[in-house]
């Protein structure tokens, strides 16, 4: 079955080898050797019969919560992407629970993402819990910021949408104003889905990808994150498939419907090409 899956993913047009990183990009600063399939086998985290719910938890500190319509879209896409039932949990204010600071470069409010993970509550039926916030994050005092952070051993992660908004850095806290975004709400949905699936991918034991241009590539800044793919490469898709055993064609078709509903036609076009190739490999 695994060989058959690899055959169906052979597609040099859709999957591009990882380009050499430019100065300031993730791999230019983080020396990562990558994770092949056999290495992944020793890091797998699997959902179980009593541990299969994916929770999305809106977190707040000083800022407004992620809007309900955005959370609904994220919940819908997470269910398609990972093939698990998804629940949106109650909003949680963690302002008094974790250290915070004012970023010396951007002068915005930030919270310690590592401390957030330490304080996250994981229900007994959860495969993982993903905290979502409009507050900027830092992983440790020496770092400027981080888009997201995951703790596989605790089955939780947190990610921030703050730097995906054009008003980031102009005020102490980022405010969601879709009318001010280039591409409107659709662009924000794309960015939010990408970082969500990246961070939850870590919950399965999938490390950063260095082999292809891939959703699981690390990113150091918004431009690098924006230019990266919305989908998994053959190596990382094979890892997720090994755990979840989804129907690839059905998964792609559901993704087409989702991206089309948000008028994100670049993703739709990619998926339709993939569906043609996958069907031809049957």
Of 84, 63, 126, give the one whose Cα is nearest residue 240: 84
Structure tokens at 26: 């993730």
- Cβ distance 178 to 167 under 8 Å? no
Structure tokens at 95: 């302002």
Catalytic residue chosen out of the listed positions 25, 63, 185, 199: 199
Name residue, tokens 């008094």: 96
Of 125, 116, 69, give the one whose Cα is nearest residue 97: 116
Q: Is 54 helix (H, G, I), strand (E, B) or coil?
A: strand
Question: Using only C-alpha atoms, what is the Rg of the chain?
Answer: 18
Distance (Å, whole) CA 21 – CA 111: 29
Distance (Å, whole) CA 142 – CA 204: 28
Decide if 266 is catalytic. no
Output the CA–CA distances (angstroms, integers) from residue 142 to 8, 103, 139, 169, 231, in the order listed: 44, 11, 8, 19, 31
Distance (Å, whole) CA 246 – CA 249: 9
DSSP letter (8 states) at residue 192: H
Q: Is 277 helix (H, G, I), strand (E, B) or coil?
A: helix
- Cβ distance 103 to 112 under 8 Å? no
Q: Is 102 helix (H, G, I), strand (E, B) or coil?
A: strand
Q: Which residues are identified as catalytic?
A: 199
């Amino acid at each position: 079955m695994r060989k058959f899956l690899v055959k169906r993913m052979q597609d040099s047009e859709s999957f591009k080898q990882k380009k050499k990183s430019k100065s300031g990009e993730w791999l230019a600063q983080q020396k990562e050797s990558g994770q092949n399939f056999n290495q992944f086998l020793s890091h797998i985290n699997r959902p179980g019969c009593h541990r299969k719910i994916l929770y999305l938890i809106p977190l707040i500190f000083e800022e407004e919560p992620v809007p309900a319509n955005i959370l609904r879209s994220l919940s819908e896409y997470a269910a398609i992407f990972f093939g698990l039932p998804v629940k949106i949990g109650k909003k949680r204010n963690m302002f008094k629970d974790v250290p915070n600071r004012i970023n010396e470069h951007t002068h915005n409010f930030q919270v310690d993402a590592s401390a957030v993970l330490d304080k996250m509550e994981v229900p007994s039926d959860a495969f993982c819990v993903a905290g979502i916030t409009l507050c900027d994050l830092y992983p440790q005092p020496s770092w400027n910021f981080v888009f997201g952070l995951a703790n596989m051993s605790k089955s939780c992660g947190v990610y921030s949408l703050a730097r995906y908004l054009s008003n980031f850095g102009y005020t102490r806290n980022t405010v969601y104003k879709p009318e001010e975004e280039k591409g409107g709400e659709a662009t924000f949905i794309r960015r939010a889905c990408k970082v969500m699936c990246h961070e939850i991918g870590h919950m399965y034991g999938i490390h950063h990808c260095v082999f292809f241009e891939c959703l699981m590539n690390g990113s150091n800044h918004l431009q690098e994150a924006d230019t990266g793919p919305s989908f998994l490469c053959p190596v990382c898709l094979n890892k997720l498939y090994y755990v979840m055993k989804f129907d690839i064609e059905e998964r792609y078709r559901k993704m087409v419907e989702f991206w089309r509903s948000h008028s994100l036609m670049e993703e739709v076009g990619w998926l339709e090409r993939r569906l043609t190739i996958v069907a031809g490999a049957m």
